[in-house]
Amino acid sequence: MRDQFSRFTILGAGLVLALSISATNLRAEPGQQGQACGAPSSIDDGWEIASPDSLGMDGAQLCGIAARLKQRATSVHSVVVVRHGKLVFEQYFPGYDQPWGQPEGQHEFTATTKHDMRSASKSVVSTLVGIAIDRKLIEGVDEPVLKFFPDRQAMKQPGWEAIKLRHLLTMSSGMKWDEARAWTDPNNDEPHLTFEADPIGYVLAKPLAAPPDVLWTYNGGGTELLGNILERVSGKPLETFAREVLFQPLGITDLEWKAYKNGKIAAAAGLRLRPRDAAKIGQLVLNRGQWNGQQVVSADWIAQSITPRFQAIGYFGGTLFYGYQWWMGRSLAGSKEIKWVAAFGWGGQRLFIVPELDLVMMTTAAQYGQPKEGLAAIDILSNIVIPSVRDAR
């Protein structure tokens, strides 16, 4: 899950982070002062705003989020909550960050500040693949990967002819890939996406460790292939295609999709969005592909994407499942188990979709390389946001 070339600065960053955390890190954004705790700002971005209490949530309980974060001494930058399709809560906190392509250090965050999504970008790529299939640019998930790379046949390794798009989507291609090592480890495959002159060629030349559908291995290289395939079938840069078919229909105009040092767009990790815009992706999934009555991506694709297909062994414990670049898990609220769908990004970027409660929660953070990365988000979701729901859907 660690995505970006700046991670070799983690040790120094951790020291800065430890020194920077204080009570002032948990003040509300300037635009919210004088408003009710967590009251969303009106910035004309397509969100309808409502109070939590008007939609069956305990607003006073949500106001405990900042204190909870302070107890854990976390580096969370934002918490955004949506219920029944309306924005009901947002809170932003200043703190240390390592934004892609910008100086690391102390940063302010507000409703209009873009934030790295890191590997949550993968879930967006999955949505774009579904749109490409809906538009007949791709026949389906059983298309062979090599079909899209006729110019790369000379570098294929034995067994690659069996790899299909669905294997890339579920990270079950079987290619020999390891990005769980230190960023400076020469055996870590992920840095090669950054500095190889031909990162797509690097991925396609990887040997297989197992046949497809046998092993689940976290693999950003497969997502890079999906991003390149989208460019090939659409005839457009990935960001241009994404803007036209996904972001514009959602009313998302302020975004970036960053490139690696070699100039290649980082499909697996480079997306930067406002947190409340990222929450729109969650609402799109919750609405089975619809936004404001428009079918942006088919309901069938959403259903396929969030169907558990593999146990995500080795990542965030043993209770997570993986679909088409989406995670599935659960929270225990009181004595009740609540299932959710999520996009995860390195550093604590978390987008949670809770269908049973008609709820979306987005958090951004700077927990890069921390052993308990992302736990603040699941803590807030499980112990404050879900319990704050007072009605049944």
Q: Is the dihedral of CA 218, 227, 125, 307 positive or negative?
A: negative
- Secondary structure E strands in 24-142: 76-83, 86-92, 95-97, 105-107, 115-116
Q: In the predicted model, what is the mean pLDDT of residues 319-343?
A: 94
Distances in whole angstroms, Cα of residue 290 to Cα of each of 51, 271, 293, 339, 346: 23, 22, 6, 21, 28
What is residue 318's predicted lDDT score, i.e. its pLDDT? 60
Distances in whole angstroms, Cα of residue 355 to Cα of each of 57, 118, 194, 277, 373: 15, 24, 36, 19, 24
What is residue 302's predicted lDDT score, i.e. its pLDDT? 98
Q: Which one-letter DSSP state was computed for residue 390?
A: -
How far apart (Å, rounded) are the C-alpha atoms in residues 142 and 160?
Answer: 14
Domains and CATH numbers, the chain: 5-116+272-385 (3.40.710), 124-234 (no CATH)
Confidence label for 35 from pLDDT (cuts 50, 70 and 90)? low
pLDDT: is 370 or 161 the higher one? Answer: 161
- Sole residue written with tokens 């991670």: 7
The amino acid at 208: L
Confidence label for 33 from pLDDT (cuts 50, 70 and 90)? very low
- Percentages helix, strand, coil for the chain (3-state, rounded to 5) are 35, 20, 45
How far apart (Å, rounded) are the C-alpha atoms in residues 358 and 360?
Answer: 7
As a dihedral over the C-alpha atoms of residue 314, residue 315, residue 320, residue 322, rounded to 10 degrees, the angle is -90
- The region of weakest confidence among 8-17, 52-61, 281-290 is 8-17
Confidence label for 315 from pLDDT (cuts 50, 70 and 90)? low
> Regarding beta strands 271-273 and 115-116, do their DSSP bridges make them parallel or antiparallel, or are they unpaired?
antiparallel
Confidence label for 392 from pLDDT (cuts 50, 70 and 90)? low
Quickly count: other Cβ atoms within 10 Å of residue 203's Cβ. Answer: 27
Quickly count: other Cβ atoms within 10 Å of residue 390's Cβ. Answer: 12
How far apart (Å, rounded) are the C-alpha atoms in residues 274 and 252?
Answer: 9
The amino acid at 267: A
C-beta separation of 39 from 80 below 8 A: no
Confidence label for 9 from pLDDT (cuts 50, 70 and 90)? very low
What is residue 14's predicted lDDT score, i.e. its pLDDT? 39
pLDDT digits (tens, 9 = 90+) for 62-82: 999 999 999 887 899 999 999
Q: In the predicted model, what is the mean pLDDT of residues 312-337?
A: 87
- Give every CB contact of residue 307 below 8 A, 6+ residues apart in sequence: 323
